[in-house]
Structure 1
Amino acid sequence: MSELAAAAVHRRQGATTAPRWAARLYARTPAWAGILAIYVGARLITTGLLLWATGLSGAPGSRFGHGASIASFVTGWDAQWYWYIVVYGYPTTLPLGPDGHITQNSWAFLPLYPWVSQVVALPFGAGGWGVGAALVSLVAGYLCCLVLFRMMRGRIGRMAAVWTVVFFASGPLGALFQVGYAEVLNMLFLLLALDGLIRRRYVRLYPLIVLMGFTRPGVLAFALTLGLMLVVRWMRRKSDPLTGSEIAHYLGLGALGVVVGFAWQMIAGVVTGVPNAYLETELSWRGFWMPQDGHTAFSPFEGWLSAMPYWAQLLGLPGWLGLVILALLVALFAAVLIAGRGVRRLGPEIRLFSASYALYLLAVFFPQSSTLRLMFPLAPLWGGVGWHRSWWLRTTVLVVCIALQALWIANVYGLANTFWRVP
């Protein structure tokens, strides 16, 4: 059975698992309006959870203290760095600690999101940056839902695509759609790029790669995806012809992704006169979680190999158990990508990007409280859950999503009083 025929069968079968009145109502609703209703409903839930968190912020040591509001959450944590970039720009002289090493500074944050937010904030006058940032995240989130629905509808069917959007909009990281973080804007560029790759509209990928590269780190994972897709297409060239023009696009886009992926490091080095300014800035955050006996230079995969034994010992477990847990998690994720029935239906583009991004995180990231947020670009894998036809499974997953969102918001915005409550 062809992929399109299988999707058609799944659409017919999936429609029978939802209440008939709901299926009839949704069938008469334009896609954009149905997605908007889902998105607005999810945002109302998140708003309620954020309001609840304001009452928790009076806990001893809370970052936001008594009298916290949703507005203070919007501009809290990393959003403060983005605001600082708009007001003060990037330093030409790097701050140094007592040991002579570079300390935390704004070079760790890319410029596109704060600049776009500032433009949107102009009608709101001085002090309106938080409004602009929230609007950028909010609107970008709705557009993400539209693109995600379009991507999934052709692979897993209309109703499964709707459920994918429901999980995406209501997931554990739902607060990101309403606060001053760059993740959602970057997700919009990523989904548009994946959609272009799936539809083989290669020209549109060139500007999207540049936009991604100056919004959030991670464009190198997309460059790897392009290389892997070229290998897959080459292996399938007899059944799926690969033209010379396509090869040129894959190579050109991959090269662009690599250049853009390292561009910010080069810019930081030129502006500050310190070649490794960006890497040293990123490493300065590590000491917040894991004190170092001396300064540790960056090396691929070292972050996870150092952190997992450390976190295990902090919990009273043997250090080697942390490495075992890491190996099991990697094996489980690989098994899902390779053998997961729902995930396999998403196509090679999404699966290869997910593998590439996971490898990127393993290579460059130091696991800590922000790990869940850094996994946000893996959101297209929600399609592998939405594909399942069981109404009870879908409902259960949705309830778990909202419960985890409440837990995340309560900890990182409400309580926010210890190192593992940093988003």
Structure 2
Amino acid sequence: MAHVLLTLSRRWALTPVALRIAVIYLAARLVTTLFFVLAGSMSTSLSRFGADAGIVDFVLGWDAQWYWLVAENGYPSELPLTDSGDVAENAWAFMPVFAILAKIVGFPFGSWGAGAFLVSVVAGYFACVALHRLLRDRIGASAAMWAVTFFTAGPLAALFQVGYAETLFLLLLFLALDAVARHRYAWLYLLIPVMAFTRPGILAFALYLGLHGILRWVRRREDPLATREIVHIVALGALATAAGFSWQLIAGVVTGDPGAYLATELAWRRHWVVGGVEGFIPFEGWIQASQFWFGQWGLPTWGGPVALILLVVAAGVALLRSPQVRAVGTDLRLWSASYLLYLLAVFFPQSSTFRLLVPLSPLWGAVAVPRSRVWRLGVLAVGLAGQWLWIYHVYALGNTFWQVP
């Protein structure tokens, strides 16, 4: 038996990386599919999806409906209003790249949903390949493969199989991070605009490029910084910044309302804030949300901001001091810090918080660094359990405010 296991282990080690990742990815997708089937059998008339919901319902559920609406009808030239006169939820909150690509891919099948599923699944696989490439030279090939396993089978793995833009954005993001790490800046002139119109977050990448440029300048004696690279970094930072604000400009031009995009995003926040929201103020969302959730849990609302400060300090310490996090490299830590700061500035923490954290997936490398097999199998087990809990609450139940993905 031991000889057979050793032979299988050697054959596995000699298998091309892309094929090994494909095997892991397909196994993870099978598990997620089984979870979906189980969730569908547990869905009731009280769920958003109704009794005996099917996988197709889940693929096309929640935000996938908005992407489908964008693909079929485009964006409204006149912002819809609520009875109170506030801007209502509308398609301007959703970027066009995924929606249009899904329509193109789904055209031969006569189904946008089929296209959305295929784009998510295929982009998810290549995102795993790109993540392995991004991590292998930092933490080793074995740990990188475990990081890919955690990524593809983790708590948010349902996103690989539904009509959301996350996996496509992650593929672009991992390629962009790898290009920066290898100083192949020319690729970013293509990647940045596509990222910007796939999913919000490109402003975090602009901040990351700025920090990357500062770090390279500080380390220019150990890592020579050519003039052309300085030009690339500055130009790309400007491009990412312009791209990050361009959607607001486009929405303003089409609707005739300069604040159309921000008003649209705030339409979702109004459901959570008593008395509504007057306008966007950076960093205000987290303070409001911390007070809201502490109130929901029966705790003093003043404790929310205190807990928020402690959370920010803990995240900063982990990025700066944790040896596991430091193992993934300074540039990925800078990206993580940039994205967390971006979320802190613009996001209102609610039920979608975990989904909004998936661009931090390179940090799975830090989780994979410990070489203990017990640790790694334990992380995998916890990830699978978390995946089922997420699918159960979001799809099988999906009937209250905190069960929105």
TM-score bin (small chain): over 0.9
2:270–2:276 Cα contact (<8 Å) kept: no
**Between the two proteins, what is the percent identity of the paired residues?**
54
Q: How does 1:340-419 map to 2 (within 5 A)?
A: 340-419=322-401
User: What SS does the corresponding residue of 1:193 show, helix, strand or coil?
Assistant: helix
Q: Is the 8 A contact 1:90 1:107 kept in 2?
A: yes
Partner residue in 1 for 2:82: 97
- On the 8 A contact 1:229/1:348 being kept in 2, the answer is no
Q: Shift of residue 419 of structure 1?
A: 0.3
Q: Which amino acid aligns with 1:173?
A: L
- Within the candidate set 175, 181, 196, 1:213 is matched to 196
Equivalent-residue separation in structure 1 for 2:339 and 2:186 (angstroms): 22
Q: Does 1:301 align with 2:280?
A: no
1:85 corresponds to? 70
Deviates more, 1:21-30 or 1:370-379: 21-30
- The CA distance in 2 between the partners of 1:78 and 1:295, in whole Å, is 22
Distance between the aligned counterparts of 2:46 and 2:170, measured in 1?
33
- Read off the aligned partner of 2:325 and give its amino acid letter: V
Out of 222, 236, 241, the position equivalent to 2:224 is 241
In structure 1, distance between residues paired with 2:305 and 2:86: 29
Q: Could you tell me whether the CA contact under 8 Å between 1:173 and 1:405 is conserved in 2?
A: yes
What are the Cα deviations for residues 364-397 of structure 1, in whole angstroms up to 9, with x where unaligned?
0001000000001000000001111011000000
Q: 1:154 to 1:27 in 2, by over 3 A?
A: same
- Provide the secondary structure at the position in 2 that maps to 1:90: coil
Q: Which residue among 212, 237, 243 is the counterpart of 1:229?
A: 212
**Normalising to structure 1: TM-score of the pair?**
0.93
Is 2:238 the partner of 1:255? yes
Per-residue CA deviations over 1:4-44 (Å, capped at 9, x if unaligned) read xxxxxxxxxxxxxxx75554132211111100000001000
Cα-Cα RMSD? 1.1
SS of the equivalent of 2:302 reads: helix
Instruction: Find runs of 4+ consecutive structure 1 residues off by over 4 angstroms.
Output: 19-22
8 Å CA contact 2:269, 2:277 repeated in 1: no
Counterparts in 2 of 1:152-167, with a 5 A limit?
152-167=135-150
Cα shift readout 1:146-194 (whole Å, capped 9, x = no counterpart): 1111111111111001101000100100000000000110000000000
CA distance in 2, matches of 1:294, 1:185: 33
Q: Specify every segment of 5 or more residues in structure 2 that has no aligned partner in the other structure, as ranges.
A: none
Q: Which AA in structure 1 matches 2:30?
A: L
Q: Report the Cα distance in structure 2 between the residues aligned to 1:393 and 1:296, rounded to whole angstroms.
A: 48
TM-score of the superposed pair, with normalisation by structure 2: 0.97
141, 145, 159: which one aligns with 1:176: 159
Paired residue type of 2:52: G
Total equivalences in the alignment? 401
Q: Is the 8 A contact 1:105 1:281 kept in 2?
A: yes
Q: Decide whether the 8 Å contact of 1:213 with 1:261 is kept in 2.
A: yes
Which 5+ residue runs of structure 1 have no aligned equivalent? 1-18
- The aligned counterpart of 1:32 is 18
TM superposition shift of 1:294: 4.6
CA distance in 2, matches of 1:219, 1:376: 14
SS in 2 for 1:300: coil
Task: Encode CA deviations 1:272-329: one digit per residue, 9 max, x unaligned.
Answer: 00000000000000122333x2542100000001110111011100012112221222
Indicate the residue corresponding to 1:330 in structure 2. 312
Q: Return the structure number with greater relative CO, CA threshold 8 A, min gap 6.
A: 1
Could you tell me which amino acid in structure 2 is paired with residue 32 of structure 1? A
